[in-house]
Every structure is written in C-alpha cells, then in structure tokens.
Amino acid sequence: MTGGSVPILVYHEVAPAPPAAFRRYAVTVRAFARQLAWLSARGFRTIDMDALVRARTGRDVLPARPVMITFDDGFRSCADHAVPLLRSHGFTAVFYLVAGLVGDRSRWMAGAGVQLPLMTWSQARELARAGFQCGVHSMTHRRLTDLPPAALQIELADARRRAEDELGHPAVHFAYPYGAYDGAVRAAAAEAGYVTASSTRPGPSGPDDDLLALHRITIHGHDTLLDFAWRLRTGAGLREAVGRGVKAALRRLRGGSSNA
C-alpha cells in the first residue's frame, strides 16, 4: 500500500478553559490528553503532510495505522498546551499559521466577541526545529471564495512568501480558511505553489483524494471519547450519525416525507 486512507484531524484551540464563544471548536487540555492516549494505546502513528505526499505519489509507504493531527489558526494555547502532550507520546503535528497575524490576535473572530492570542514566529520556528510542520492558513483568514483575484493573490502567494521568509524553509502546505474553496481558489492555490491544500470536507482522506482539496475530520469541543473514535472512522460524531439515522427512519415511517 502506498497511499491508503488517513484520518486527518482538525483542531483549533486546545486550552484548560476555552472561551464559551468558541467552545464548539475548542478542546480542553484534559479531553485532548485522553484523545492522544487513545490513539497511542491503539498503535496509531502520526505523519505529516510531506509523508502523505510521498505515499500518495508512490515514493513511500504509510505506517500500518496512520493519523495526521493538524491545527488551524496557530493559537498560542496550542503551542503552550497541545505541544507538550504531543511530545509525550512521540507524536508530530501540522500547524497552519495565519501569516499576516502571527504574534497578534485572531481578529477574524471579533464578530463573535472573542479574539485569542496567536503564536509568534519565534514559537513557530521552535516548533519546526522540534520536528513539527508549519503550513499556511492565508494572510488574514478571509473567506477566499469571496475575494477578487488581487486579494486572493495576497492571501495565498504573499502569505506563502511571508511564511517562508520567517521560517527559513519552504511552506507548501495550505489550509483553506473556513474550509471554503472553489475551482478558482483551488487553481490559485496551485499557481501559488502549494503542494497540498486542506479543506474541511468531512471524512478520512482516501488514496484518490485531491491533494489540493484534502478531506479532514474536525474535532469539536463537545465530543466525547466515543464521538472521537467514531469520527476517526466516519468523519462524523456518533450523536450526529445517530441523529441522521433517526431522521432517516422517521422519513421511512412517514412514507419518504422530507419534513422529518
């Protein structure tokens, strides 16, 4: 097998007491520790984007139980709290940084009443030296599908150049802000020189996955450990899957009505 199915997990913030306004996308340190312990106990091995590309292009093979752990946005809390836990299990991860706001705060979240501190370039370089991978999450976290070509160039190509200047090595892995992309955005990502681009389309990344539109599995703050295990297999939480099953059963009982 050169490029089998890989669950690519998406985290945002990992913190002891996440803010209520961001609770859906913030995982507590305790929950994150339990999830990593679960992965470790079951023999999962973490890979990064370079390893995935090598496997998908026939230049390497994946470990028996691969998993990829990614963090969108580059929150400082992840450097402070997630990284020590990852290291304790010998795990690696990919951090997608908002290149124009590194060392600042998550200004794009101001409308929700919360702005969280972002890691600095110095912290990002330290992560890279420790074996973690740093990718790009645009320049300012704008929704790329809404942008004209000139603004798209800034968010993609200029962000990559900024990241490479600061990190001192190629930055060829990208994550679409909000998971939003279309054909034009995908083409612009390719033109900007990105080798991979991650979406938030749910589900494990299979061997035929588009490298510029990779599937990922978002881990939510309300997930139980059972939800986490189920997401790894299906991309959906157990409660979501049960909810869909109940709705489907109700539709069948009602003769196919779509009002359930």
pLDDT digits (tens, 9 = 90+) for 102-127: 999 999 999 989 999 999 999 999 99
- Mean pLDDT over 162-171 rounds to 97
Under 8 Å between Cβ of 98 and 138:
yes
Residue 247 pLDDT > 90, yes or no?
no
Q: What confidence tens digit (pLDDT) does each residue in 42-89 have?
A: 999 999 999 999 999 999 999 999 999 999 999 999 999 999 999 999
Give me the residue spans of the domains in the chain. Answer: 8-222
Hey, what CATH class is 8-222 in?
Answer: alpha beta
Distances (CA, A) of 253 to 120, 241, 245, 257: 56, 18, 12, 9
Tokens describing residue 35: 């999830």
Residue 208 Cα distances to 56, 104, 133, angstroms: 8, 38, 23
Q: Please, where are the H alpha helices in the chain?
A: 29-41, 49-56, 76-77, 83-88, 121-129, 149-153, 159-167, 183-191, 225-234, 238-253
Of 145-149, 213-217, 230-234, 243-247, least confident by mean pLDDT is 243-247
Report the predicted TM-score, pTM, of the whole model to 2 decimal places: 0.90
